Structure 1
Amino acid sequence: MDLTTIETILVEVFILALKIAGPLLIISMVVGIVISVLQAATQVHEQTLTFVPKLILIGILLVVFGGKMMGLLEQFLKEIFHLIETGI
């Protein structure tokens, strides 16, 4: 196992993490900003108003795109196990 192989695997890990977590984090951030603007405009500062919509949207996203996310993770793990099996 040389340094180039390790570097390639680490780059793939970071890209996979962005592909899996990125959409969820972006949606959560956008919803949080929209709710915060609405709270500032109406002067209603209830903590559950930011938490509940984020929770619902992330749940919906996981139901809709969870299979694709798991597929990406499965494909990556198959590649890693193949590298381990062949002795890299």
Structure 2
Amino acid sequence: MNAMNIGDIFSEALFIVVLMVSVIIVPSLLVGLIVATFQAATQINEQTLSFLPRLLVTLLMMLVSGPYLIGKLVDYVNNIFLNIPLMIG
């Protein structure tokens, strides 16, 4: 195992982490921005008003993209376990 293999493993792991975070968190951030803009325009300063839409969008994105993200993670882990003999030898 050389430094290039380790770099490939870590870069793929980092890509999967960024993909999982961006798919789940970015829509929540956009909904929070829209709600905050609405609150600023109407001068409604209610903390819980922004919490519920963000929570619902986060849960919806987890339900919609969850199987894809879990499949991607399982494929990555399977690939690492199957390539252990090649990495050692």
Q: Could you tell me how far apart the structure 1 residues matched to 2:33 and 2:54 are?
A: 11
Question: Unaligned regions of 5+ residues in structure 1, if any?
Answer: none
Cα distance in structure 1, aligned partners of 2:70 and 2:26:
19
- Is contact 2:16–2:73 with CA below 8 Å preserved after alignment? yes
Q: Any idea what the Cα deviations from partners look like across 1:49-84, whole Å, max 9, x if unmatched?
A: 111101111111111111111000000010111122
Give the 4+ runs in structure 1 shifted more than 3 A. Answer: none
RMSD: 1.0
Q: How many residues align?
A: 87
**Scaled by the length of structure 2, what TM-score is found?**
0.91
Query: 2:27, 2:2 → 1: CA distance?
Result: 38
What amino acid does structure 1 have at the position aligned with 2:45?
Answer: H
- 1:8-65 CA-to-partner distances (Å, cap 9, x unmatched) read 0111011111221112121011011101100000111111111110111111111111
TM-score by length of 1: 0.92
